[in-house]
Chains A and B, each alone.
Chain A
């Protein structure tokens, strides 16, 4: 079925030329020399005042990276990246170290204000009914500020930039870094391991329910830079944490690389909820510029009865190459993946998830909605596998696509692998219209067709939207505000 007018209008509102976050902050920066070499890796490590073992870790990754080849299996097309034409480190001069909010450059504060990110704790506190969110703000290669650190520390929660964590909690970083995404996992993960500059570190100790939402806001500002963020979240036995991630970048003619690695570790009975609203600059109408978002995100349900849930709303980036995954290692562990990916203009999205069932009685759920407009290509690529010992593994997958216009493409590439007879896998994918029955039910009760479609679709999108934390859901809804009439049923 062709998309209804309402959907078309709403998609147009978030079309690539409507990008609201394309401004640039004029600020003095300190950059590493262009290009990539062992010297640059040493430079970054030195800038971060890292211990020797961290430098060795990076150098090892760099040497391995040199021997690897760029992957080409994804359904994306882009000119070869010149890895020597990128600045691997760029930091606002004024933000050379961790600071209290009063010391942060007002230019930076203005930037975040413009982006609508609350960095002032008192302001947030003033509005009592407002939910509180602790924010780690990463600007190009450095974290400029982390809010609510003290209050979180009272609960025993560690929330800081990864650079600080390397210095202050080396034992934790050493233990968990690279334990979910090994150094040589893939081309971009290895590159990231060598040159990662900043990102967030979260540690929630045993039995603690993190008292507020944690959030990191990534902003690429400088020209010709790549952003290599590294995030590590650990939830000990029985802990709970909800983490949000947002990203934007200025409007530029050149493509910029963002190659992040995110690792989640959930021990027995722990739960991690990771939500992303990805709104990197998608390039202009002609497909010029935009961010290459080549990201490795993986969660390890290491403990029994642990749970990891990924929710993503993807609207930005020229190219997205991203598969937030769950390794269901612990018995009775659970993985979830909820995704809405909207592609417009010349955007190319190749995204999905992996659910690797290793433990007994593990279950996973995948709900993915792809919407393609303009001349974009939108691919869902997902893998569900049950290991020989994963008795009673369960998976339910639903991925639906909607095409708006006749110059875009929607593709579904699921890999379903069962090596255990007690596994139960169900996979469903459609690009069909709304269920006739549901529509008939509404029409019969006197609801006009358009309203009925909106009603059914709203109920349907909620499946994904409701997985987002409240304050994010509002943003996501604003960002998307689309009906998905092609996907019910």
Chain B
């Protein structure tokens, strides 16, 4: 299907390949890692970036949308920021590399750069499938990241905030995280631009939940107005494990956030939520591939999008139910508010079902704010602008409130209202 013959490379493609050649010898990695990287770059060279003819990238034609790639700024610096929730354990990367020696009590923290040098990272650099462009780019350029290992049975009370901060230039990070059996934690993966100028960022979080783990994982993307953010979260969920995955997109110029979830243990329970705040002249794509691969698992997915100005939003959500994944219960909803005449949204919620005794459904809506709701508020003396803002806020806040931790809910609501105040 995805036959592409690229005779000519685009400026961005050449820049990527040049960046790789320029960094040869500098990128950490043993022989196995280097040859894995070479293969990925070769693939990029032959196949190029995906176009709309590649089904998985139908609405995000990366070849056209990615005009240029900034030069690698190497080990540039970025200022630290306040954590989302006071008292959180803050660890992280600056411009794609660990600074100092991060630690969290009760958790084994390592550096991904060490895994690259030792070669243990090599198998993980392989792509998920041929459309895994984010995996290809990240695997080619990744220098560092944090490796977290939550021992079995451990409970980390305070949230852990991973701050992936950067200024202009390129930053490529990877976060392999394993939650041991019965462990419990809240992790915030936060991407933000703290400097100026345009950045090109890729990030892959490679997460596994062992049996009975109970994890809340929040991705908060606050990139700069000129940044390209290619994020991917790969998660394997074990038996009776509970996962709450929450994605907030509130920044970036060109964003693709992929969620690749493998429900691999019976009794697993997943709740996937997303809030996408889109404004300006930006393009944001959230793509979810959720595989229910064993019997008796359930999941709910709710994504709420608000699109202002000339922004374009994309949601692709695929639920796959394998042949023997009987008694799967999966429900997905994607609701969008188009707030401007120039805003666009495309949704592709897909079901791929091979088991007969399942309950699966998806719903998608696209609409403007309900006039009746607006009228109700205005009839009570609330000015139009204010009433609209209230309704938009309510539309997304509903999702945020599902996170039970009050401090967390408040912090995210703060992020949302700050964003809305700026764009609405």
Q: Which of A388, A411, A414, A426 is B348 in contact with, Cβ under 8 Å?
A: A414
A408 to B356, CA, bound (A): 8
Q: Which of A72, A410, A426 is B353 in contact with, Cβ under 8 Å?
A: A410
Q: Are B352 and A411 in contact (CB under 8 A)?
A: yes
> What 0/1 readout, one digit per residue, does chain A (1-17) give for beta carbons within 8 Å of chain B?
11100000000000000
> What 0/1 readout, one digit per residue, does chain B (340-369) give for beta carbons within 8 Å of chain A?
111111111111111111111111111110
Q: Are B360 and A414 in contact (CB under 8 A)?
A: no
Cβ of A458 within 8 Å of any chain B Cβ, yes or no, is: no
CB neighbours (8 Å) of B361 from chain A are: 428-432
Interface of B, secondary structure class, is strand
Name the residue of chain A whose CB is nearest to the CB of B351: A412
Q: Which of B58, B346, B350 is A412 in contact with, Cβ under 8 Å?
A: B350
CB neighbours (8 Å) of B353 from chain A are: 401, 403, 409-411, 431
Cβ of A57 within 8 Å of any chain B Cβ, yes or no, is: no
Chain A positions near chain B (C-beta within 8 angstroms): 1-3, 72-73, 388, 401, 403-433
Q: Do A416 and B346 form a contact, CB below 8 Å, given A406-B323, A423-B367?
A: yes
B residues 326-345 in Cβ contact with A at 8 Å? 326, 336, 338-345
A417 to B345, CA, bound (A): 6
Q: Do A428 and B345 form a contact, CB below 8 Å, given A73-B55, A411-B351, A421-B368?
A: no
CB neighbours (8 Å) of B356 from chain A are: 2-3, 403-406, 408
> What 0/1 readout, one digit per residue, does chain B (32-76) give for beta carbons within 8 Å of chain A?
000000000000000000000001001000000000000000000
Cβ of B1 within 8 Å of any chain A Cβ, yes or no, is: yes
Q: Are A421 and B338 in contact (CB under 8 A)?
A: yes
A425 to B346, CA, bound (A): 11
Q: Do A428 and B351 form a contact, CB below 8 Å, given A403-B356, A418-B346, A421-B341?
A: no
CB neighbours (8 Å) of A424 from chain B are: 365-368
CB neighbours (8 Å) of B352 from chain A are: 409, 411
Q: Which of B55, B343, B351, B356 has the most CB of A within 10 A?
A: B356
Q: Are A416 and B359 in contact (CB under 8 A)?
A: no
CB neighbours (8 Å) of A422 from chain B are: 341, 368
A59 to B365, CA, bound (A): 45
Q: Are B340 and A421 in contact (CB under 8 A)?
A: yes
Q: Do A1 and B349 form a contact, CB below 8 Å, given A416-B364, A418-B366, A425-B366?
A: no
Name the residue of chain A whose CB is nearest to the CB of B326: A406
CB neighbours (8 Å) of A404 from chain B are: 356
Q: Are B338 and A423 in contact (CB under 8 A)?
A: yes
Shortest CB-to-CB span from A409 to chain B, Å, is 5
A-B pairs, 4 with minimum CB distance: A421-B338, A403-B356, A430-B361, A412-B351
Q: Are B363 and A427 in contact (CB under 8 A)?
A: yes
Q: Are B366 and A416 in contact (CB under 8 A)?
A: yes
Q: Are B368 and A426 in contact (CB under 8 A)?
A: no
How many chain B residues sit at the interface, stated as a range, is 35 or more
Shortest CB-to-CB span from A104 to chain B, Å, is 46
CB neighbours (8 Å) of A403 from chain B are: 353, 355-356
CB neighbours (8 Å) of B364 from chain A are: 414, 416, 425-427
A215 to B110, CA, bound (A): 73
5 contacts between A and B (CB under 8 A): A403-B356, A414-B349, A417-B346, A431-B361, A432-B361
Q: Are A418 and B345 in contact (CB under 8 A)?
A: yes
CB neighbours (8 Å) of B341 from chain A are: 388, 420-422
Name the residue of chain A whose CB is nearest to the CB of B367: A424
B residues 302-346 in Cβ contact with A at 8 Å? 323-324, 326, 336, 338-346
Name the residue of chain A whose CB is nearest to the CB of B364: A427
In the complex, besides A415-B347, A423-B366, A429-B362, 15 extra interface pairs with C-beta distance below 8 angstroms are: A72-B1, A405-B356, A406-B326, A407-B323, A409-B352, A409-B354, A411-B350, A414-B348, A416-B346, A418-B346, A418-B366, A421-B339, A425-B365, A426-B365, A427-B364
Name the residue of chain A whose CB is nearest to the CB of B352: A411
Q: Are B339 and A427 in contact (CB under 8 A)?
A: no
A412 to B348, CA, bound (A): 10
A47 to B342, CA, bound (A): 53
CB neighbours (8 Å) of B351 from chain A are: 401, 410-412, 429, 431
Q: Are B357 and A73 in contact (CB under 8 A)?
A: no
CB neighbours (8 Å) of A408 from chain B are: 354, 356
Name the residue of chain B whose CB is nearest to the CB of A3: B356
Name the residue of chain A whose CB is nearest to the CB of B53: A73
CB neighbours (8 Å) of A431 from chain B are: 351, 353, 358-361
